[in-house]
Amino acid sequence: MTAPLRIGIAGLGTVGAGVVKIVAKHHNLLAHRAGRPIAITAVSARSRGKDRGVDLSGFAWEDDPVALARRDDVDVFVELMGGEAGPALAATEAAIAAGKDVVTANKAMLAHHGHRLAEAAEAAGAVIRFEAAVAGGIPVVKALTEGLAGNEIRRVMGVMNGTCNYILTRMETAGLPYEEVFAEADALGYLEADPQLDVGGIDAGHKLALLAAIAFGTRVSFDAVEIEGIGRIGIEDIRQAADMGYRIKLLGVAQMTGRGLEQRMSPCLVPADSPLGQLQGGTNMVVIEGDSVGQVVLRGAGAGQGPTASAVMADVIDLARGFRVSTFGRPAATLAEPVPARAAAPAPYYLRMTLVDKPGALAKVAAALGEAGVSIDRMRQYGHADAPAAPVLIVTHKTTRDALDHALRAFGATGVVIGEPVAIRIEAV
């Protein structure tokens, strides 16, 4: 019989325990599919005595994940600790230095150190696989590196943070303000220890940077991702977007343009009847557009024990089969240094503002937009009884963000705009 593929798991939280469960439950199935048995030989975690709901008695224990990575009876190091640096990075580097393949769910580590780690792995004859780092159970990395490898990718976009999608969906369906739904999501345990990783768009930005590197053959450039979270989205924006036939999503978009590589993670309006517009709750969706295949839509659970552990095992099985591919789909030395796009492609924008309710206020706003070269497609004033301020909604024709920002700065000099306007891009999907 072919020798088993021996794996060592560092990190026995939700996902690590899920991997142990899959190996135990589907031992024979995995062996048939991989062409050889898959065996867990050793594990590591912060606490040895914690009850994780799985039997760990048959595995060697290492307190130090670096020691686990160097063990002679570990062929594949499975890193599920998380964190941009610290033990996760040190153990991954140790595994690579020992010539071992690595499977990881660590998007932050790869977004910040991915190119260097890819170079080191190739020099050592090792492979790094990270399907579980992006969109949970959705096989989007495999789709880009394998299924769509014959295409020139035109655009990658998607909803890549289930917590944000839950919050925005809940605001719409329950009619609740952001602050209340945020507190609800926190109580349910949906938020990271640092909530800004979720609602600030950072978590999703890490994922977008990794997909962009694969899709466009560039080095990972997380620092070039333009990131805006969902904290400024009010219930009034949710309602008014719905009134116009749109829904608001935290949407990641990456595309190569004549201006350079455009990478942005920000709230956008999308048509309510589009696949992205119909996405509800904590589900993720990634849309890939290729020159030959057209548009491909991948939808599924973006987090959770089962889906993420499933993605980890997909990578492990590929390695057991002997299937090896460069970390980002091509040799690290061939990945180009990306030129960040200085401005996003033109698009229509949704603007919400509050105006002093006096004659000529709308005319001053329209003049500021016109002087910036921004034309108005639609304008709507909502009922405000006898209040001294009037809520106003404007949808522009296609414009650049630079032109729009020029207009927004000019609003302050009109004397009629109260507070800071909200501007949200309307994305063609």
Both 260 and 115 in one domain: the answer is no
pLDDT at residue number 358: 84
Could you tell me if residue 324 is inside a domain? Answer: no
pLDDT at position 384 over 70: no
Among 75, 109, 133, the domain-final residue is: 133
pLDDT at residue number 158: 96
Both 95 and 206 in one domain: the answer is no
Both 157 and 271 in one domain: the answer is yes
CA distance 242 to 269: 9
Could you tell me if residue 343 is inside a domain? Answer: no
pLDDT at position 189 over 90: no
Share of residues in the chain with pLDDT > 70 (%): 99
Angle at 174 (CA atoms; ends 168, 179), nearest 5 degrees: 55
CA distance 243 to 399: 22
Average pLDDT, the chain: 94
User: Who contacts 231 (Cβ-Cβ below 8 Å, separation ≥6)?
Assistant: 178, 199, 200
pLDDT at position 1 over 70: no
pLDDT at position 429 over 90: no
Both 15 and 153 in one domain: the answer is no
Both 194 and 241 in one domain: the answer is yes
Could you tell me if residue 34 is inside a domain? Answer: yes
Could you tell me if residue 325 is inside a domain? Answer: no
Both 101 and 188 in one domain: the answer is no
Could you tell me if residue 313 is inside a domain? Answer: no
Find out whether 44 and 73 touch, Cβ atoms under 8 Å: no
pLDDT at position 220 over 80: yes
Report pTM: 0.93
pLDDT at residue number 344: 77
Both 396 and 257 in one domain: the answer is no
Could you tell me if residue 342 is inside a domain? Answer: no
Both 212 and 297 in one domain: the answer is yes
Both 167 and 258 in one domain: the answer is yes
Both 127 and 147 in one domain: the answer is no
Give the pLDDT mean for 171-187.
93
User: Who contacts 30 (Cβ-Cβ below 8 Å, separation ≥6)?
Assistant: 22, 23, 37, 38, 313, 317, 320
Q: How confident is the model at residue 79 (pLDDT cuts 50, 70, 90)?
A: very high
Both 153 and 296 in one domain: the answer is yes
pLDDT at residue number 385: 60
Share of residues in the chain with pLDDT > 90 (%): 85
Q: Which of 102, 170, 104 is nearest to 131 (CA)?
A: 104
Both 191 and 156 in one domain: the answer is yes
pLDDT at residue number 343: 73
Query: In this structure, how many other beta carbons lie within 10 angstroms of the beta carbon of residue 154?
Result: 15
Domain that holds residue 294: 140-302
pLDDT at position 383 over 70: no
More confident call, 7 vs 357: 7
Could you tell me if residue 336 is inside a domain? Answer: no
Give the pLDDT mean for 139-149.
96
Q: Using H for helix, E for strand and C for coil, what is the string for the chain? A: CCCCEEEEEECCCHHHHHHHHHHHHCHHHHHHHHCCCEEEEEEECCCCCCCCCCCCCCCEEECCHHHHHHCCCCCEEEECCCCCCHHHHHHHHHHHHCCCEEEECCHHHHHHHHHHHHHHHHHCCCCEECHHHCCCCCCHHHHHHHHCCCCCEEEEEEECCHHHHHHHHHHHHHCCCHHHHHHHHHHCCCCCCCCHHHHCCHHHHHHHHHHHHHHHCECCCHHHCEECCCCCCCHHHHHHHHHCCEEEEEEEEEEEECCEEEEEEEEEEEECCCCCCCCCCCEEEEEEEECCCEEEEEEEECCCHHHHHHHHHHHHHHHHHCCCCCCCCCCHHHCECCCECCCCCCECEEEEEEEECCCCHHHHHHHHHHHCCCCEEEEEECCCCCCCEEEEEEEECCECHHHHHHHHHHHCCCCCEEEEEEEEEECCC
Which CATH number belongs to the domain containing residue 266 in this structure?
3.30.360.10
- Per the DSSP assignment, residues forming a β-bridge with 101 are 76
Among 110, 133, 156, the domain-final residue is: 133
Which CATH number belongs to the domain containing residue 393 in this structure?
3.30.70.260
Among 133, 148, 174, the domain-final residue is: 133
Which CATH number belongs to the domain containing residue 95 in this structure?
3.40.50.720
Find out whether 354 and 361 touch, Cβ atoms under 8 Å: no
pLDDT at residue number 386: 61
* Residues designated as active site: 207
Q: How confident is the model at residue 357 (pLDDT cuts 50, 70, 90)?
A: confident
Could you tell me if residue 328 is inside a domain? Answer: no
Give the chain's domain count. Answer: 3
